[in-house]
Structure 1
């Protein structure tokens, strides 16, 4: 083909390729890269400058009307001859939701209202390039397709490129995916070609295997005529926050056991038989039909790959009983919290407060604090699932090529921060400050010299109890609102000092007149207030 390509050269249909499922050990070696498998709707985007943008599902059904906000950013980055992109549509905040409820509300064929678009923003996570400027790219190696895709510059919402990392970091990526609730990774060989409508051993889905604690709340018999026999175990997790093995369980599924395990478990379960189910709510009819119930004193390990319908384990495998001393409160197989349907998601960036020179006094330039506790709104700590995740992985992926040791350090820091993000209830100031340091390290890698950090913590304060994520919440807000909008950035200062009720934390951010946040940990009321603002 010679001369400038015409926009009508764009193919009408490129059937999406599907990943193969790994059998045996995951791929490794320098020719493989891995990335998180985002949860959402598969989407192939056909972009024709001067004409239109078509969005087709994995089944080649049109989704164009449901996502009109993607048209402008796709056209803006397209070359004259158009392009075809392969990726995933993700409802912001539901990147790893086992049941993407928000995205379902945006997937109708009718055009959504402006209010719906604002309330349920959707991102297009682009993973591959199938056509560019009049030429098919499917016969190119993945490394070459990826280089062309990165050159298009999709680095901000609502269209992002994914962040593949070398397969040498597979274990860390699996740990991050486990913490985030993702069900798997995608592993791609750098020399792999794109096979429209087919599969290839050069693109593999690697499932995340989770090992979690469960209580045995009952069993179904191997033979209904012998109710004391054991066929499958009915599993649950504590419905409350008690550290003791509870009498009330949330049902999470059932699992088959081997013949030898059945014999070992039968006597223990029969001795604990009770006439009433220990599960809160209904147990599925097929599981409850011939079930016998048990006092949930037996705790075991189950390995599984994810969640079905939000609260049922996918492909569970029984791994044996635990002795009571090995039971850990943080290791229960708790289903992920559902994403609220009605809550308005946060804006891409909070509005920047007024700056020096606006005529406002220093007092008015300080953040106005409500006397109520500084507590993240519902789901606020889960906002690490949004653009911060994309930005962090993109930053680490870029550093892999220029500074591998620093990229690896940041990847470990991101994994630590993810664990802190998943911590519920009470934390300690030491754990909170570790999470703050991990977060600021990642943001400094992204902002460079625009973000300077000063931390001054009085010794001996690490054990002070605080509510999980409250300190990090304030620091993140300070960086986003006070430093990021400034062309030259600024300095973020965190100072912790002992006070009679516990400790006071002062977060100062920005250039010029600082914004002050004073937080006081209240050890005896941490369950209610944790970190409290003070004027």
Structure 2
């Protein structure tokens, strides 16, 4: 087995349109080469720095290695509370070469395998990438904390881009299926494709093309509503064409005498700015948010006919940073109540001192993400249609988890998340998990808290049904109950029943 294989490097590029390519997510983590043989593991970063001691939980790779060893390329990740990789938490793990038990328990790492460079005494570098992927999938590596990073045909690039945007990823990878691994080289057979995001924005003014003609428009001054007013996020050139003329005709009628932005704009921008009443809503495409909260490389995509400033605020909070907690108000559901064995009590919320429960919750999140991705990866070749369905369901689940805890969503949206979760688990468990969800149609619009039902369903599946060799049956039923509705989650095998009363008001008559 080789002592060192220089890592291949990706070249910047655009998403290929032809056949013969695979697309993959670029995980937020530490790219490494793993040299594994029975009883021994060595992890080197792509800069040839040893990090084996920082990640003792990854020694499971040595237990799965063939007698004459294997060399894998992959990414070390440390998931956050949502189960998605976090650069901040990864830095905490790499800060020490010998993590203690408490740190390992709090922040467990995973290894996302993306390529195979050596296998059982033979180099695989000259093999085409498609063949190397097939060998990886035959190694039986998919066991926590090891994940075979999913790979999709180029025809699914649109769905992969959507998921990358929801995860907040900056790039995805495109790899030629017939390409060999070229150590230390940057080639066009492996492309680093930027992920452009879409943001709804409010026009708060413009920079004139000619200061002597204020009605001329060179660039729009953009903002995103927040709790303390309109936050400036940058400016974008308007370009030319029909949309330029449409916006340019509307702006003079909206001219205002004062800035609508909550804070002063940078002097070079404010010097010749013409302010506008913030009524026009548009869309921009951009690559990422800068550290200062500005749009990087924005491109104007046109006016948004909906013109709903409330939706702009929601989108801005999601993309720009941590969401502001909305104030309580009519239609927002109260905290759900649960009943086990006949006694009702308010579901306890996480407290600062409940460190043990927080760690256990994080474990459930990580466990689900690892297994979901491995399940999807296994189906990509054998049942690509099913893999695509599960991928979209998984993306919807991550989006649901991003919503503020005290928001209100329709019951039917919450149950859609429950069904997506159960679909993923049934694909993994097969006949070991049987599930049914029934609801009275008139209750579809009852407002509930995001993930209120999903949390209970996941806890029963992962802590009760999964450990049993025979599996079990889960039944979710929803029925009207006074002003709201009663959700019952039943583990038929053990007879455990959870009940939640949700909804601040009944459905519209």
- Per the shorter chain, which TM-score range? 0.7 to 0.9
Q: Could you tell me which residue of structure 1 aligns to residue 471 of structure 2?
A: 489
Aligned mates of 2:253, 2:86 — CA distance in 1: 38
CA displacement, residues 226-270 of structure 1 (integer Å, 9 cap, x when unaligned): 877654433222214xxxxxx812343332332667776567556
Match status 1:206 vs 2:193? yes
Aligned mates of 1:385, 1:172 — CA distance in 2: 23
Match status 1:426 vs 2:417? no
Question: Aligned in 2, Cα 1:507/1:81: closer, same or farther, shift over 3 Å?
Answer: same
Question: Aligned in 2, Cα 1:311/1:48: closer, same or farther, shift over 3 Å?
Answer: farther
Question: Aligned in 2, Cα 1:266/1:278: closer, same or farther, shift over 3 Å?
Answer: same
Match status 1:406 vs 2:389? no
Match status 1:35 vs 2:24? yes
Aligned length: 482
Q: What stretches of structure 2 of length at least 5 have no aligned partner?
A: 324-338, 353-357
Match status 1:166 vs 2:140? no
The aligned runs of 1:433-512 (5 Å cut-off) are 433-509=415-491, 511-512=493-494
Partners of 1:218 and 1:294 within 8 A in 2: yes
Aligned mates of 1:473, 1:217 — CA distance in 2: 41
Q: Could you tell me which residue of structure 2 aligns to residue 372 of structure 1?
A: 346
Partners of 2:29 and 2:87 within 8 A in 1: yes
Secondary structure at the aligned position of 1:448 is classed as helix
Partners of 1:63 and 1:109 within 8 A in 2: no
Aligned mates of 2:194, 2:82 — CA distance in 1: 16
Q: CA deviation at 1:300?
A: 0.9
Q: Could you tell me which residue of structure 1 aligns to residue 315 of structure 2?
A: 332
Give the TM-score normalised by the residue count of structure 1: 0.77
CA displacement, residues 322-355 of structure 1 (integer Å, 9 cap, x when unaligned): 3455777277344447689xxxxxxxxxxxxxxx
CA displacement, residues 40-81 of structure 1 (integer Å, 9 cap, x when unaligned): 22222233555551322x3333333433332x2122222333
CA displacement, residues 154-211 of structure 1 (integer Å, 9 cap, x when unaligned): 2233222201123332222222223332333322222111111223333223333333
Give the TM-score normalised by the residue count of structure 2: 0.81
Q: Could you tell me which residue of structure 1 aligns to residue 376 of structure 2?
A: 396
CA displacement, residues 445-486 of structure 1 (integer Å, 9 cap, x when unaligned): 111111111333234111211112211121111111111111
Q: CA deviation at 1:213?
A: 0.8
Match status 1:253 vs 2:234? yes
Q: Could you tell me which residue of structure 1 aligns to residue 54 of structure 2?
A: 66
Q: CA deviation at 1:318?
A: 1.0
Q: CA deviation at 1:492?
A: 0.6
Secondary structure at the aligned position of 2:486 is classed as strand
Q: Could you tell me which residue of structure 2 aligns to residue 518 of structure 1?
A: 499
Q: CA deviation at 1:490?
A: 0.8
Secondary structure at the aligned position of 1:191 is classed as coil
Q: Could you tell me which residue of structure 2 aligns to residue 362 of structure 1?
A: none
Partners of 2:83 and 2:369 within 8 A in 1: no
Partners of 1:127 and 1:162 within 8 A in 2: yes
Q: What stretches of structure 1 of length at least 5 have no aligned partner?
A: 1-8, 241-246, 341-364, 527-535
Partners of 1:44 and 1:86 within 8 A in 2: yes
The aligned runs of 1:306-317 (5 Å cut-off) are 306-309=288-291, 311-317=293-299
Partners of 2:29 and 2:85 within 8 A in 1: no
Q: Could you tell me which residue of structure 2 aligns to residue 47 of structure 1?
A: 36
2:125 corresponds, among 130, 138, 150, to 138
Q: Could you tell me which residue of structure 1 aligns to residue 329 of structure 2?
A: none
